[in-house]
Amino acid sequence: MDTILKKRLGLSGTVVRRIKWWPDGILLDGQRVQTDARPQVGQLLSVRLDDLERRSGIVPAPGPLDLVYEDEDLIVVNKAPGVPVHPGPGHYNDTLGNFLLWHYDLEGDSADFHPVHRLDRGTSGLLVAAKHPHAQEILKRQLHTEGFRRTYLAVCEGRPEPPSGLISAPLGPKDGSLVEQMVRPDGKPARTRYRVLSAHSGRSLLRLELDTGRTHQIRVHMAYLGHPLTGDFLYGREDRTLISRPALHSAELSFLHPLTGRLLSFSRPMPGDMAALLSD
């Protein structure tokens, strides 16, 4: 059974160790078995992958949710700008995690919050979260591969030259700051591909793809080029009369479904506060 679970079904050792203690974690013809059982051809194997109990400690709370796709293994949302993904200091009941657990409760779903990737609080757009640890592990293994692609739209100051290219500059924490990142030779490798789509009133609309996923990667790389994102209070110039956040939107997301292997692709248009920056 242990071989089937790990080799045929692709369950990690962590997941197998967790489910084997549940009364209905591993069933053979409806009867509980352990991982040393030897199944026979024709027997029915059932494995419970959902959460027996929530361990995240996140409190369900109502809030805005723009649901794009949902099934028993994952959920895709269009995150609103200004909404943190994870609870933290000052944000314990107004995050995407809180809102998703509230939604799950309304649907009678026992799922916990299992994020696959993250977006900065100010960034809007598409984000996928798993509904159980097995799906989360598979999707996380897809990150930064051809199977998991993220495309962003951004508005920056000025017009980058050349109009398309690859920014390859290592990133690491800025000395003396708890949140800022910077280009530094001893940082972790970071690569961002960009293309200018249009230019308006001293700003440019960019399409960007990530080869890596470092903290604040797009924001730091564009500032490094000399074209910070409009409204970026950390790496550019904050101007709330223009926009109240860095002008960055997760516009396209595609990945392979963690259980079926089917390609899922989603897109969401740029929100109005960013579009207003491009009016001539």
How much of the chain is helix, strand and coil, in % rounded to 5? 20, 30, 50
Q: What is each CA distance from 115 to 37, 75, 80, 138, in whole angstroms?
A: 33, 10, 16, 12
Q: What is each CA distance from 251 to 5, 78, 180, 274, in whole angstroms?
A: 36, 9, 24, 12
Instruction: Kindly name the residue from 51, 112, 120, 232 that is annotated as catalytic.
Output: 120
The DSSP symbol for 7 reads I
- CB count within 10 Å of CB 269 equals 12
Angle at 273 between CA 103 and CA 122, to 5 degrees: 55
51 is catalytic: no
In the beta sheet, which residues pair with residue 143? none
Angle at 251 between CA 104 and CA 230, to 5 degrees: 115
Residue 155, helix vs strand vs coil: strand
The candidate with the shortest Cα–Cα distance to 27, out of 17, 37, 12, 18, is 37
Structure tokens at 114: 């299992």
The candidate with the shortest Cα–Cα distance to 109, out of 162, 49, 43, is 49
E-assigned strands of 109-234? 114-115, 124-130, 149-157, 164-168, 171-173, 181-183, 191-200, 203-210
User: Which residues are catalytically annotated?
Assistant: 120
